Structure 1
């Protein structure tokens, strides 16, 4: 660790906040009549979601976006964790380039967790499939769709779709991880450099706090979606263990300690935790990144949200 303070202009891996960008593009495509939220996955990806009880003929695009598909989360696969997340596998394979197909194949080697539509169950695989459908519906790459529909119109100059790059563009800080060892372990690894293709439409975007604030404020104010599609995005399903948290289409709403309801998303990746939230009117936003992953992200996020939105200075 260098001990140098971080910059307000730092870029960082936003992980699952990427999902909000993906859902926004798909909802734009729906508004254009290119795709329907109730289209079945099979229509767009014929034969892809089959086997071990998985069936794309029974799963809708909407169920991918609100995590009610039941499809297994490929990042929970023991082999994936051993090779790409934990030491020593990460250290050996951190620069490997992978394709979205690998994530899908890994997920489909497992049975689904529940019947499509039965309940909420978070799965990164949902957004790998959603990004593949986005490409089919738009006729362009996932990267081109997000760049031309969101990044360029909003002037998000610090936001990058990294592809197979292993670097975080400057200015940026380092990212540190225990790589799945005991949280009390003394060994902390610099994990800043890692091939971004090991995540994709489920979590590969690199951005800044300022860009995330601009994006979520614009989104919730209706600058990116027509009213009908924004209402679809904000139609939520319950979290089975947390009544103060509900998930829509690529965005969540949750209650701060003082009872204020916020819209936003968060994301954890190797060596990093990020969160971006806004009030209902889009006027008060907060984006943050922690460049270490051995503390409890939810606790850190909750404390910061409380200070920002619940204190007299923040209200």
Structure 2
């Protein structure tokens, strides 16, 4: 144990050790806050080359946890009278959906933030896949900057999965459109509005939305290791549900260090850097309503079912975050974010009195790792994919 480690919670520590020893995670770090105070534990290495350990206050690329920051920003702007959840994409971005199969006059801001806009899963866009799903392609394109117009164009590059409001379907593109609306409604950059409306009021000193050209962390951080790639020479358009396992790289290959990379493709959806401590502060505010006015807090937690969407099982999705029901019936609120070489999860009880934040610096075994730790802390499993 390092000097930063907290005593106790043997079950959580055993789950972390299992994740590193048996599941191959380079490392896991956990921060827990409850009525007894805060607890920190870790296993494995933040850097497998230097041997550096995990420590508190590391900066993390939070992946899709960024969606909750976007939703909070939009809701604060609604409270200020600058926009309304029932405004449409056409109202704020006239003509931006022209030439696509989407009707901007029917997609509302609420649809964008609840993943019910009908937009397809942006990560499946062929243009995006060609740049990132093969190891050599990722390495060649890792520092490319995605202008906002390109992010929006790629988000419209495949047909709708349904009509607006018809179903839940997880889509980064909806949050890119939300970011564009924030900029149009305020005349300021999206990143500066996230800071003004969310980060500054909560006093989050180490949290920020990356600017478009930025690739760093502004402080100590673990390395990020990725292994989920297609074999060299495979075309993403040839991958099907029945053949994809045979087209993946040999899992025994060493991971690729993807720590330094541009994430502007995740504009509005996956571009926030934070720490485990500050994520707990943020999500406790989202859970208890201490940041948003009462009306906006109710909107935040007005949920829709996610069943049948091949997403996380036993969840109901609000605006940028979700409620998860564990196998023992316990309900937890929060969000998770997975990206290349990194996965973060923050969940807490609805009263805000017991919150856990977990990070693992890999992308090949994150769900088993996170589920074992959730089970160790809350006595039941349930953080699994609905496949």
**What TM-score, normalized to structure 1?**
0.94
Deviations 1:134-186 (A, max 9, x none): 11122211111111111112111121222121222321110000141436232
Matches within 5 A, 1:195-274: 195-241=262-308, 244-274=314-344
Question: Which of 129, 145, 148 is 2:196 aligned to?
Answer: 148
CA root-mean-square deviation: 1.6
Residue 171 of structure 2 corresponds to residue 132 of structure 1? no
Give the Cα–Cα distance (whole angstroms) in 2 for the partners of residues 243 and 177 of structure 1.
24
Match of 1:274, SS state, is strand
* Distance in 2 (alpha carbons) for counterparts of 1:251 and 1:97: 27
Partner Cα distance (1:258, 1:141) in 2: 44
How many residue pairs get matched?
A: 310
Higher deviation after alignment, 246-255 or 43-52: 43-52
Larger Rg: 2
C-alpha distance in structure 2 between counterparts of 1:160 and 1:270, whole Å: 19
Q: Displacement, 1:17?
A: 0.4
CA distance in 2 between partners of 1:183 and 1:307 (Å): 31
Give 1:50 deviation, angstroms: 2.8
| Equivalent residues of 1:256, 1:310 under 8 A apart | no
| 1:178–1:185 CA contact under 8 A, matched in 2 | no
Q: Which deviations, in whole Å up to 9, do the C-alpha atoms of 1:196-239 show, x marking residues without a partner?
A: 32321111001100000001112222111111111111010001
For 2:85, the equivalent position in structure 1 comes to 37
Q: How far apart, CA to CA, are the structure 2 residues paired with 1:268 and 1:305?
A: 16
Structure 2 counterpart SS, 1:289:
strand
Question: Once superposed, which parts of structure 1, at least 4 consecutive aligned residues long, lie more than 3 Å away?
Answer: none
Aligned mate of 1:292, from 362, 382, 385: 362
1:45 and 1:185 map into 2 onto residues whose CA distance is: 47
Residues 11 and 168, structure 1, Cα contact 8 Å, conserved in 2: yes
Equivalent residues in 2 for 1:4-153, closer than 5 Å: 4-153=52-201
**Residues 142, 85 of structure 1: alpha-carbon distance in 2 compared, 3 angstrom cutoff:** farther
| 1:303 matched residue in structure 2 | 372
Query: For residues 169-180 of structure 1, what are the structure 2 equivalents within 5 Å?
Result: 169-180=218-229
**CA distance, structure 2, for counterparts of residue 193 and residue 123 of structure 1:** 24
- Give the direction of change, closer, same or farther, for the CA distance of 1:198–1:109 in structure 2 (3 Å limit): closer
2:242 corresponds to which residue?
none
Please say if 1:184 is aligned against 2:254: no
SS in 1 for 2:200: helix
Partner of 1:273: helix, strand, or coil?
strand
Q: Is the 8 A contact 2:151 2:267 kept in 1?
A: no
Separation (CA, whole Å) in 2 of partners of 1:113 and 1:80:
18
CA distance in 2, matches of 1:258, 1:301: 17
CA shift, 1:243, in A, is 6.2
Q: How far apart, CA to CA, are the structure 2 residues paired with 1:84 and 1:45? A: 29
1:88 aligned counterpart, secondary structure: helix
Matched position secondary structure for 1:206: strand
